[in-house]
């Protein structure tokens, strides 16, 4: 089957949108990457289940993504099916002190909803441009807090098409990681356990966190947030800056002058440029400090 035929067959069972040969530049915050063979924007859980079953039945690779804010897609793109869980699966519900959010909901929206409901605990997440599914999978965090601090449980789809409920202790949270990917799970919903607070105070804290982000991060250029995880007892940005990498550039990919743990796209960067810059940074930091930096971003594609 060619790509269009695959798309047509999948479209017979999927209610959401299907796009053939979609450029991943439109779907990642770095604005780089080649085309996805087939992109599916699911309209609900049924579409997610259908895509997983279809990919398995036809021997097609399945790449699950959220908002693309922590993802580097290589220049030749992604083979098989890219399942982008986003606007068609983004409901947010408030029950007492628990917020349940579908995987496609954006963290800033969940944080702001919590603030309006007078629930505190998600102020740290107001500036993280990730979907709930992606944030839980990578244990996203900021300001000394992370998903592991607030996620009580999650619902996920297993590789054999079953739905499971996992409590916090079963998700496998570690620093900027979880056990979700290794278990082949797709996040469906997450329950955030919060505490009562004053809406005005929570909104003020949100505003302060957003201001900190604007002042410390290069938001004027496409980027994917922190490129490297902080080594134990160290700050990746400090190591990179003091190793002399700040401002280093390959093509239109550059180590930010504002925050050395950010690589920005000045306009026409390729994934190849970013990957070469990552390799060079790792080599220089290893040579100077004997510390191997580990990627915090996810690299996919060809």
Q: Strand ranges (DSSP E) for the chain?
A: 17-23, 35-41, 62-65, 71-73, 78-84, 92-95, 98-102, 119-120, 141-142, 145-146, 151-157, 163-167, 186-193, 195-196, 249-250, 253-255, 263-265, 298-300
Active site residue 123: no
The 8-class DSSP code of residue 240 comes to H
List alpha helices for 119-158, DSSP H: 132-138
Catalytic residue among 22, 102, 241, 296: 296
Active site residue 226: yes
Structure tokens of 241? 């800056």
Catalytic residue among 31, 52, 153, 176: 176
Beta bridge partners of 163: 157
Active site residue 296: yes
Catalytic residue among 86, 111, 178, 226: 226
Q: Who contacts 173 (Cβ-Cβ below 8 Å, separation ≥6)?
A: 139, 146, 147, 148, 151, 179
Q: What are the catalytic residues?
A: 176, 226, 296
């Amino acid at each position: 089957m060619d790509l269009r035929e695959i798309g047509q067959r999948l479209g017979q069972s999927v209610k959401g949108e299907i796009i053939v040969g979609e450029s991943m530049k439109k779907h990642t915050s770095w604005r780089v990457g080649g085309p996805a063979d087939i992109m599916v924007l699911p309209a609900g859980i049924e579409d997610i289940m259908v895509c997983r079953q279809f990919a398995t039945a036809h021997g097609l690779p399945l790449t699950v993504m959220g908002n693309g804010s922590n993802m580097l897609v290589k220049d030749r793109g992604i083979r098989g099916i890219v399942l982008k869980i986003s606007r068609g699966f983004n409901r947010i519900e408030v029950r007492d002190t628990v917020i349940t959010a579908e995987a496609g909901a954006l963290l800033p929206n969940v944080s702001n909803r919590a603030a309006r409901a007078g629930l505190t605990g998600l102020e740290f997440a107001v500036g993280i441009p990730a979907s709930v599914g992606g944030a839980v999978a990578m244990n996203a965090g900021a300001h000394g807090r992370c998903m592991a601090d607030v996620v009580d449980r999650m619902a996920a789809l297993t590789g054999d098409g079953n739905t499971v409920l996992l409590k916090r202790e079963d998700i496998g949270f570690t620093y900027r990681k979880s056990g979700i990917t290794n278990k082949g799970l797709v996040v469906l919903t997450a329950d955030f356990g919060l505490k009562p607070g004053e809406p005005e105070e929570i909104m003020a804290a949100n505003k302060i966190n957003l201001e900190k982000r604007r002042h410390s991060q290069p938001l004027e250029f496409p980027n994917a947030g922190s490129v490297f995880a902080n080594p134990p007892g160290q700050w990746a940005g400090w190591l990179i800056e003091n190793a002399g990498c700040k401002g280093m550039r390959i093509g239109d990919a550059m180590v930010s002058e504002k925050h050395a743990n950010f690589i920005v796209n000045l306009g026409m960067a390729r994934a190849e440029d970013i990957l070469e810059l990552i390799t060079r940074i790792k080599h220089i930091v290893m040579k100077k400090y004997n510390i191997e930096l580990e990627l915090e971003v996810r690299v996919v594609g060809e």
